Amino acid sequence: MVAKGRILIVEDDEWERSLLEKLLKDAGFEVGIATSAQEGLEKAITLEPDCIICDVILPDIDGFYVARRIRTEQGPVSTTPFLFLTGKDDHESKLQGFNVGADAYMTKPYRHDEVVAQVDALITMARRLQVQRESFFGAPPSGRGPAVIKGDIGQMSIATVLTVLEMERRTGRLTVSDGGGQTATIELKEGALARVHIKGQTGKPADLTRQLLLWKTGAFSFRDASIVAIGTPQPIGPLLLEAMKLEDEANR
């Protein structure tokens, strides 16, 4: 039987590690093991897993180091789905986890079926985005100028475009129009949001991003460009989650 995917577990606790290994193997995954942050990083680069499960507390450094280094690597491993599975349940740890590039954060004790479902969902999402990324960036740029990529919001949502640009760690400007006269410019630096501007509107990045997610028709174009960030650029993943949360609250 063909494995559903390759998982790397970075966990120093023997009992926890063995439980996760059996759980995932029973669910049809191949499993690799690392017991420290440094070993986890090395094995991630070598194995190129489909998903990484990592504890925050490790004997040499910590899981945040692993996630941060993975996201700055060159090559496919930099976009590998990353799940923190840890006993640290405080808000600051979760926020730091997302800021260093984690895709999901689950706390112990956890339900076995929820871990498998989360891993399945992360791998499925990554494969879907890979197909869209290849279609998005598949054509080589023409001429000698910066790469320009264009598309239709109806075919690829703004959330998906931003996620793909984050995965690619792109630096440049994303211009979006809603087809009705509204335009927006989003500046990205190495895949993080440096600035967002909607014509005629001002506000926090999460509020403006929420407005953009409501645009269901129109067009977008992205151009590589040099960006000077004012302040620290924000990771896109948590920003999209916050924007969607604001929209849910507004609809209640």
- Whole-angstrom Cα distance, residue 72 to residue 7? 20
Residues 78, 94, single domain; the answer is yes
Q: How many domains does the chain have?
A: 2
- Among the candidates 101, 134, 167, a domain finishes at 134
Q: Does residue 130 sit in the same domain as residue 143?
A: no
Length of the chain: 252
Does 1 fall in a domain? no
> Rounded mean pLDDT of the chain?
82
Order of strands, sheet of 148-152, starting from the edge strand that comes earlier in the sequence: 148-152, 219-224, 172-177, 183-189, 192-198
- Per-residue pLDDT tens for 17-63? 999 999 999 999 999 999 999 999 999 999 999 999 999 989 988 88
Give me the mean pLDDT over the 224-237 stretch: 81
| pLDDT tens digit sequence for 141-193 | 444 445 567 888 887 788 888 887 887 778 899 999 988 888 999 999 888 88
11 and 102 together in one domain:
yes
Residue 169 lies in a domain: yes
Are 163 and 126 a contacting pair, CB within 8 Å? Answer: no
Q: What angle do helix axes 112-137 and 158-167 make, rounded to 10 degrees? A: 90
81: domain range? 6-134
